[in-house]
Amino acid sequence: MAMAGLYRRALPSPPAIEFASPEGKQLFTEALGEGTMEGFFKLISYYQTQSEPAYCGLATLAVILNALAIDPGRTWKGPWRWFDDTMLDCCEPLSKIKAEGITFGKVACLAYCNGAKVEAFRTNESSIDDFRRHVISCASSEDCHVISSYHRGVFKQTGSGHFSPIGGYHARKDLVLILDVARFKYPPHWVPLALLWEAMDTIDKATGHPRGFMIISRFHKAPSVLYTVSCRHEGWSKVAKYLTEDVPHRLKMNDVKDVENLLSLVFKSAPVDLKEFIKWVAEVRRQDVAGVSSSEEEKARLIIKEEVLKQIKETEIFEHINRWLGSEISVCQGYKQTLPEIAANVCCQGAQLLAGQLSSLDETCCKETNVVLVQAGGVSPMTLVSGKITTNGVEQGIDMLVPSSQTEPRNILCDFDRSNCKGMHPSTADVLTVILLALPQHTWSGIKEEKLLTQLNRCVSIENIPSLLQQEVLHLRRQLHFLMIDLHEPSASG
């Protein structure tokens, strides 16, 4: 009786040596004695099979994030916080990854926005000697791991582009252990490092760029507490291209006289998705388990967020943006927000996090939104946004702890009721402020007016801002960098 589908593939050997074969076991024993299998044990403890044929990048990343003991900050199933490949959708919708795979740059961005430190190298940005050095370093430690992006054809395997973690290194024979996450297809196997470099040094036809490798490790502390770049909406690439390419070009082509004129040039012609490009890191909890009390961790994080928000509002560029928003209200309705609108936005972002995913929810997910100030354990009053959300037909009440600033907000947020205006985040002015601070300094080099260029460089320089805010800005710059790696690359490996 004929059976549908495929059951595994025979591993082409040579060039590969199956890990569980007698020779593979001997290589493991020798490498263990040489001290270049230290990272293996953490990886094998959390090794998983990709849940979809095109999820190799997601599964590889989930294995490494769990091996590094990075807390995802959101639940997987039940009460458990855990990385699974189906949760890694902050840089691309899962439906798109399932159909097309994921790019080299998006995997790097995914790792970074989920709390990992990332060093990404395409083969044209590195060398085989550098690659070997990184492999030896990570194989000899539990503190970092290597992701390889390569073409299977070089190993005589079926398929094309693929991601997998490197589990170890045999120095005397210059072999690397590939922990293939497509375990339904091929088992873990040893291959010559030089051949893996050759497999990485291939052009991804979908991107036009070489493949490469990444070094993934832990930050000593979270890279961000308040902001993150969002590239899940369809217009993210237009926004990134506009900010990094179009804005510098427009500044070169136009005679900009002052800061307010510059703000009009930058923001009045921006893509409509600009407001969705920067999201905030939320504190969300279910009403039935939360109550008014807050944990010490929640209080500490909220205090830091409020300090960052305060530092934003104390910057010179924030003052210019606030004045510009007030003067441009009649022609810039797209940037106008009232407190209820902000609360609804906050509620929906919280609903997405509570669901354990960042996928789009129905537009009616948030209703009965309410904003109150509550006293929590002797600390300063907190802004609490409460709302009702509907997920898969089930209604659930949620509370969001929202950082507030004591700085008096301008009229942009106070049209409906001045008594309730507390400078609540996220507001238009502070988001636009961090966008400008996050752009690289060379963005402004095309400004012709020397006095304005000097003034703007002073306004957006991160050298003179407090360290907390500087950390947030550098986090956003790094995310933008990873997105720009393959800005024009529509798809990638599976």
Active-site residue, from 145, 162, 320, 475? 162
How far apart CA 24 and CA 492 sit, in angstroms, is 31
Do residues 85 and 48 make contact, with C-beta atoms less than 8 angstroms apart?
yes
Angle between helices 193-200 and 128-139 (to 10 degrees): 120
**Two tokens at 456?**
């703007």
SS3 390: strand
Residue 246 has what DSSP assignment? I
* Contacts made by residues 128-133, CB under 8 angstroms, sequence distance 24+: 128/193, 128/194, 128/197, 131/193, 131/197, 131/200, 131/213, 132/174, 132/193
**Two tokens at 274?**
């600009």
Residue 149 identity:
S
- Of the candidates 64, 92, 116, 199, the residue with the CA atom closest to the CA atom of residue 486: 92
Determine whether 56 is an active site residue. yes
Residue 71 identity:
D
Determine whether 320 is an active site residue. no
Do residues 188 and 181 make contact, with C-beta atoms less than 8 angstroms apart?
no
- H/E stretch holding 167: strand 161-170
Which residue has 């927000």 as its token pair? 337
Active-site residue, from 89, 180, 201, 430? 180
* Contacts made by residues 88-93, CB under 8 angstroms, sequence distance 24+: 88/58, 88/61, 88/62, 88/114, 89/232, 89/357, 89/358, 89/359, 90/114, 90/228, 90/230, 90/231, 90/232, 90/358, 91/231, 91/232, 91/483, 92/231, 92/232, 93/232, 93/359, 93/360
Instruction: Write the burial class of residue 43 (CB in 10 Å: 0-12 exposed, 13-18 middle, 19+ buried).
Output: buried
How far apart CA 259 and CA 410 sit, in angstroms, is 18
Residue 397 pairs in a beta bridge with: 388
Determine whether 162 is an active site residue. yes
Give 52-68 as a DSSP string: STT-HHHHHHHHHHHHT
Active site residues: 56, 162, 180
